[in-house]
């Protein structure tokens, strides 16, 4: 199977190229066929890879070729698939396939249908390269590739000004993170002498043999996480994600919910051996994750654009994943990543279906009562919402619950864990609230739109089929994670993080001894004992399961009271508390702060640089140099007289000069 690994990314690439070059001219209406077939092929191959890894437990490795070889620096093109890759592969290709199918209905009649179906497989290609890469440079290639495709697809409706701006914003904000990632790769190379992580001489095996300073590893971890902050929309670089909703809805579902935004999470999880030796870096990851989760959830409570609510919910859920990574619950992070991919894709596709049925209306205040008009969309949306809210027994419940217990049990920074747990619990409550606010406002109550003008209708079956499949997966997916922390999913992924666990224990032991010296023997010994065998006690699990279920139901209840029973008037509340409302509605004023603190001064600086430094100093110099070269060029031109005699003279003179100089300088004849 390892010989066919390359086919997985190659198929979508071929489809993309084919659509761009051939379909565009000869059958632009049929472009989707090639795209869907190629992604389906990748999906089947991914399943085969998954099965092989499941059976053999050994990673697959395919070395393709050497890219640049110069001295110590070797850039290889190689593919690597272990358990983590296998999970990502299946998830990416599965969601991609469904989104491709869905898009056939959603993009039907679009003027540049083929363009959409050239870029979407191209995205799948780059995403698969990212997941399959066996070294950081190739990950970076995929990383930039998905960024580029995301840019192209956000700006798909390029005639709309806001879409162009959103695309630019996404690109620029991501660039900030990418710089960090790039620096991280360089630091990895200078530290380990290699950029490949897998294999015998890879970073991870070097790490387990050699002794590397914690400071360097922390720096690497933070730099890599900077990249993840950009790509996975963590605070403070999350601002691009809600704006990215300007793209077509299937794109939002695929790129900005299920796959690309999880690349940062994947990167950190992939680098877990580095992080396990850099506890400070992990703490940063956890804190930023928890904060992002909380902030995203609060903003989502007051937004009115259906896609923006879901987008902020994505930001919040990505924060959960980062929190899980930060507290060392690696498997849980991936578990939540996959579960989230399914229910969030379902939510986005569902909102796409709503928008489609409502004739491009996105404001939930102008919806209501859609339950009757689009039953399939409603039921699937409801299931996904329950999952997002973390209600038993849907996929989101299990993973979110594990994150909360993970934070509670987190041993790396004992005192901090409690605070993080509280934040996570509060966020769970808010999540349930905003999710059901969305559901109630959209599907329940009386229609708030002009029924004479708008006739909502259910989407065609090519769009509802992916919804149903995703909803079904959302229902059953939780089962692979049962029992919590020891489910099939965890067993499968364990080998990837085995070294991590090992180090974690070492770190605990170390902290334990340190603190023992400090004299706090009792409490710490208890904590260390707790960690032994890595099983969280059943009481803890059940306690937190009960707490989070109560909180989720409480959130739903509050939402029901507010929006169904109208016990509390949200408008009156907003009027009474204008500060809070505006704070949330304006998304914590983060964009405004950026404008005032970053964009505006930068523009002033840029104006200054432009008008003074650039125009006067640099341009002046450059123009001078350019004019100098121009004059030189004109001068040298006159040598080219067109006369053979002069040309021959140049040859002869050159010969005489060379021979003369050489004889004078080197030969002993003239000495």
Partner 1 sequence: MELTANYFLGLSAALFIIGLMGVLIRRNVLIIFLCVELMTAAVGITFVTFSRETNTLDGQAFALFSIAVAAAEAAVGLALILAMSRRTRSVDIDDFRSLKD
Partner 2 sequence: MDLLNLDLSGPQWGLVWPQLIVFLLAVVLVFADAFIPKHRSFEMLTGISIVGYLLALGALYWQHDKHAATFQGSFRADGLTVFLSLIILVAAIFSVLTSANYLKDYGERVPIGEYYILLAFSVLGALLVSSAGDLITIFVGIELTALATYVLTGYTKRNAQAVEGALKYFLLGIFASAILLYGMAWAYGLSGSTGLDNIRANVGAAVEGQEWFEASVLLALLLLIVGLGFKIAAVPFHMWTPDAYEGAPTPVTAYMSVIPKAAGFAAMIRLLVQGLGPLSEDWRWLIAVLAVLTMMLGNIVALSQRNLKRMLAYSSIAHTGYMMVGLAAYREGTGFGNDLENIIGTRGVSALLYYMLAYVFMNIGAFAVLTWIQARGRGVTLDDVSGLASTDPLPAAAMAVFMVSLMGIPPLIGFYAKYYVILAAMEADMLWLAIAVVLASGISAYFYLRVVAVMYFSSSDVTNTRSVRTPLLNASIILLVIGNLVLGLFSAGIVDLSEDWTNALTVAQTTDGADAAQVTNP
Positions touching partner 2 (CB under 8 A) are 65-71, 74-75, 77, 626, 629-630, 632-634, 636-637, 639-640, 642, 644, 646-648, 650-651, 653-655, 658-659, 662-663, 666-669
658 binds, among partner 2, partner 1, none (CB under 5 to 8 A by kind): partner 2
> Which secondary-structure segment (H or E) carries 78?
strand 73-81
The torsion angles phi and psi of 179, rounded to 5 degrees, stand at -60, -45
Write down the least CB distance from residue 129 to partner 2, Å: 13
Residue 111 vs 644, nearer CB to partner 1: 644
- Residue list 109-128, contact with partner 1 (CB under 8 A): none
Write down the least CB distance from residue 646 to partner 2, Å: 7
DSSP at 486: S
Q: Which of 317, 347, 310, 313 is nearest to 466 (CA)?
A: 347
Q: How far is CA 328 from CA 156, 191, 366, in A?
A: 38, 24, 43
Residue 111 vs 636, nearer CB to partner 1: 636
Residue 111 vs 651, nearer CB to partner 2: 651
75: β partners? 68
Residue 415 vs 645, nearer CB to partner 1: 645
Write down the least CB distance from residue 655 to partner 1, Å: 9
Residue 453, interface with partner 1 (CB under 8 A)? Answer: no
Distance of CA 604 to the CA centre of its chain: 32
Write down the least CB distance from residue 71 to partner 2, Å: 8
111 binds, among partner 2, partner 1, none (CB under 5 to 8 A by kind): none
SS3 510: helix
Residue 461, interface with partner 1 (CB under 8 A)? Answer: no
The torsion angles phi and psi of 543, rounded to 5 degrees, stand at -55, -50
- Asked if residues 298 and 235 have their Cβ atoms less than 8 Å apart, the reply is no
- Asked if residues 397 and 524 have their Cβ atoms less than 8 Å apart, the reply is no
Residue 571 vs 643, nearer CB to partner 2: 643
- Residue list 7-26, contact with partner 1 (CB under 8 A): none
Specify burial of residue 635 (Cβ count, 10 A radius: 0-12, 13-18, 19+): exposed
Write down the least CB distance from residue 148 to partner 2, Å: 13
- Residue list 241-280, contact with partner 1 (CB under 8 A): none
- Asked if residues 333 and 324 have their Cβ atoms less than 8 Å apart, the reply is yes
Q: From CA 503, how far away is CA 577, in angstroms rounded? A: 49
Residue 668, interface with partner 1 (CB under 8 A)? Answer: no
Residue 561 vs 655, nearer CB to partner 1: 655
571 binds, among partner 2, partner 1, none (CB under 5 to 8 A by kind): none
Determine which residue in the list 210, 522, 533, 642 makes contact with partner 1, applying CB under 8 A: 642
The pair of three-digit structure tokens given for residue 82, joined into one six-digit string = 């272990």
Residue 637, interface with partner 1 (CB under 8 A)? Answer: yes
Interstrand relation of 73-81 and 60-70 (parallel, antiparallel or unpaired): antiparallel
Residues in CB range of 513: below 8 A, 6 or more apart: none
Write down the least CB distance from residue 88 to partner 2, Å: 24
212 binds, among partner 1, partner 2, none (CB under 5 to 8 A by kind): none
Determine which residue in the list 640, 665, 668, 671 makes contact with partner 1, applying CB under 8 A: 640
- Asked if residues 241 and 174 have their Cβ atoms less than 8 Å apart, the reply is no
638 binds, among partner 1, partner 2, none (CB under 5 to 8 A by kind): partner 1
In sign, the C-alpha dihedral spanning 242, 244, 245, 246 is positive
Residue 635, interface with partner 1 (CB under 8 A)? Answer: no
Cis ω before 309 (30° cut-off from 0): no
Residue 669, interface with partner 1 (CB under 8 A)? Answer: no
> Which secondary-structure segment (H or E) carries 506?
helix 488-518
- Residue list 182-201, contact with partner 1 (CB under 8 A): none
Write down the least CB distance from residue 628 to partner 1, Å: 19
Write down the least CB distance from residue 653 to partner 2, Å: 7
Q: From CA 354, how far away is CA 350, in angstroms rounded? A: 6
DSSP at 156: T
The residue written with tokens 């039953």 in the block is: 375
- Asked if residues 103 and 118 have their Cβ atoms less than 8 Å apart, the reply is no
Residue 522 vs 635, nearer CB to partner 2: 635
SS3 62: strand
Write down the least CB distance from residue 662 to partner 2, Å: 6
Residue 72 vs 159, nearer CB to partner 2: 72
Write down the least CB distance from residue 634 to partner 2, Å: 5
Residues in CB range of 562: below 8 A, 6 or more apart: 437, 568, 570
Determine which residue in the list 648, 658, 661, 664 makes contact with partner 1, applying CB under 8 A: 648
Residue 638, interface with partner 1 (CB under 8 A)? Answer: yes
Residues in CB range of 87: below 8 A, 6 or more apart: 50, 334, 338, 492, 493
Determine which residue in the list 652, 657, 661, 664 makes contact with partner 1, applying CB under 8 A: 652
Residue 453 vs 637, nearer CB to partner 1: 637
Q: From CA 274, how far away is CA 217, in angstroms rounded? A: 6
Q: Would you give the binding string for partner 1 spanning residues 588-627, x where CB under 8 A is met?
A: ----------------------------------------
Write down the least CB distance from residue 62 to partner 1, Å: 54
Residue 573 vs 647, nearer CB to partner 1: 647
Q: From CA 326, how far away is CA 265, in angstroms rounded? A: 10
Write down the least CB distance from residue 658 to partner 2, Å: 5
Residue 643, interface with partner 1 (CB under 8 A)? Answer: yes
Residue 522 vs 635, nearer CB to partner 1: 635
Write down the least CB distance from residue 623 to partner 2, Å: 12
DSSP at 59: P
667 binds, among partner 1, partner 2, none (CB under 5 to 8 A by kind): partner 2
Q: From CA 32, how far away is CA 40, in angstroms rounded? A: 12
Contact window for partner 1 (CB under 8 A) among 131-139, 254-262, 467-475, 631-639: 631-639
Write down the least CB distance from residue 645 to partner 1, Å: 6
Size of the site for partner 1 (CB under 8 A): 12
Question: CA-based Rg of the chain, rounded to a whole angstrom?
Answer: 29
Q: From CA 420, how far away is CA 410, in angstroms rounded? A: 10
Residue 645, interface with partner 1 (CB under 8 A)? Answer: yes
66 binds, among partner 1, partner 2, none (CB under 5 to 8 A by kind): partner 2
The torsion angles phi and psi of 52, rounded to 5 degrees, stand at -60, -45
Write down the least CB distance from residue 642 to partner 1, Å: 3
For 576, other C-beta atoms within 10 Å of its C-beta total 10
Specify burial of residue 575 (Cβ count, 10 A radius: 0-12, 13-18, 19+): exposed
Length of the chain: 671
For 568, other C-beta atoms within 10 Å of its C-beta total 11
The torsion angles phi and psi of 485, rounded to 5 degrees, stand at 70, 0
Write down the least CB distance from residue 20 to partner 1, Å: 42
Residue 149 vs 338, nearer CB to partner 2: 149
Q: Residues in the site for partner 1, rule: CB under 8 A?
A: 637-645, 648-649, 652
């Amino acid at each position: 199977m390892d010989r066919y690994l390359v086919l997985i990314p190659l198929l979508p690439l071929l489809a993309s190229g084919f659509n761009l070059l051939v379909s565009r001219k000869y059958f632009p209406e049929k472009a989707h066929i090639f795209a869907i077939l190629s992604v389906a092929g990748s999906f089947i191959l991914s399943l085969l890879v998954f099965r092989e890894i499941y059976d053999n437990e050994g990673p697959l490795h395919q070395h393709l070729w050497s890219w640049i070889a110069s001295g110590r620096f070797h850039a290889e093109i190689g593919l690597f698939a272990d358990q983590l890759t296998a999970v990502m592969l299946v998830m990416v290709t599965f969601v991609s396939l469904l989104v491709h199918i869905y898009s056939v209905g959603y993009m039907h009649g679009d003027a540049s249908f083929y363009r959409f179906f050239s870029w979407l497989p191209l995205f799948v290609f780059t995403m698969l390269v990212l997941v399959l890469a066996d070294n950081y440079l190739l990950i970076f290639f995929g990383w930039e590739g998905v960024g580029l495709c995301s840019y192209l697809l956000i700006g798909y409706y390029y005639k709309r000004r806001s879409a162009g701006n959103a695309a630019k914003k996404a690109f620029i904000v991501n660039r900030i993170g990418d710089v960090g990632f790039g620096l991280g790769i360089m630091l990895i190379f200078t530290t380990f002498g290699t950029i490949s992580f897998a294999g015998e001489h890879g970073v991870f095996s070097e790490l387990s043999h050699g002794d590397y300073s914690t400071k360097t590893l922390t720096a690497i971890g933070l730099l890599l996480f900077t990249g993840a902050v950009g790509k996975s929309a963590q605070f403070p670089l999350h601002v691009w994600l809600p704006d990215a909703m300007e793209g077509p809805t299937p794109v939002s579902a695929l790129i900005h919910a299920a796959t690309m935004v999880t690349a940062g999470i994947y990167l950190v999880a992939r680098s877990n051996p580095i992080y396990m030796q850099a506890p400070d870096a992990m703490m940063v990851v956890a804190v930023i994750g928890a904060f992002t989760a909380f902030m995203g959830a609060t903003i989502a409570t007051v937004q009115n654009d259906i896609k923006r609510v879901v987008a902020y919910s994505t930001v919040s859920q990505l924060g959960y994943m980062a929190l899980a990574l930060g507290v060392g619950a690696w498997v849980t992070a991936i578990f939540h990543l996959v579960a989230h991919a399914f229910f969030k894709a379902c939510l986005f596709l569902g909102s796409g279906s709503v928008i489609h049925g409502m004739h491009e209306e996105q404001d939930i205040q102008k919806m209501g009562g859609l339950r009757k008009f689009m039953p399939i969309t409603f039921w699937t949306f409801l299931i996904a919402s329950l999952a997002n809210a973390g209600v038993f027994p849907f996929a989101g419940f299990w993973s979110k619950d594990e994150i909360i217990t993970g934070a509670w049990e987190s041993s790396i920074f004992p005192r901090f864990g409690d605070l993080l747990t509280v934040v996570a619990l509060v966020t769970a409550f808010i999540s349930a609230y905003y999710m059901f606010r969305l559901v109630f406002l959209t599907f329940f109550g009386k229609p708030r739109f002009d029924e004479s003008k708008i006739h909502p209708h259910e989407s065609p079956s090519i769009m509802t089929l992916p919804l149903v499949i995703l909803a079904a997966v959302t229902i059953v997916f939780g089962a692979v994670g049962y029992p919590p922390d020891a489910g099939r999913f965890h067993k499968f992924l364990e080998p990837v993080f085995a070294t991590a666990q090992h180090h974690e224990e070492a770190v605990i032991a170390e902290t334990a001894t340190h603190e023992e010296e400090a004299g706090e023997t009792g409490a710490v010994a208890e904590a260390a004992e707790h960690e032994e065998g890595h099983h969280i006690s059943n009481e803890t699990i059940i306690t937190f399961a009960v707490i989070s279920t109560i909180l989720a139901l409480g959130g739903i209840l509050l939402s029901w009271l507010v929006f169904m029973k109208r016990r509390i008037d949200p408008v009156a509340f907003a009027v009474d508390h204008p500060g809070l409302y505006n704070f949330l509605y304006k998304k914590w004023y983060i964009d405004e702060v950026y404008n005032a603190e970053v964009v505006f001064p930068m523009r002033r600086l840029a104006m200054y640089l432009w008008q003074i430094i650039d125009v006067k100093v640099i341009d002046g110099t450059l123009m001078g140099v350019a004019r100098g070269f121009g004059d030189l060029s004109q001068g040298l031109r006159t040598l080219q007289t067109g006369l053979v005699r002069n040309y021959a003279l140049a040859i002869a003179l050159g010969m005489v000069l060379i021979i003369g100089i050489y004889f004078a300088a080197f030969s002993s004849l003239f000495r």
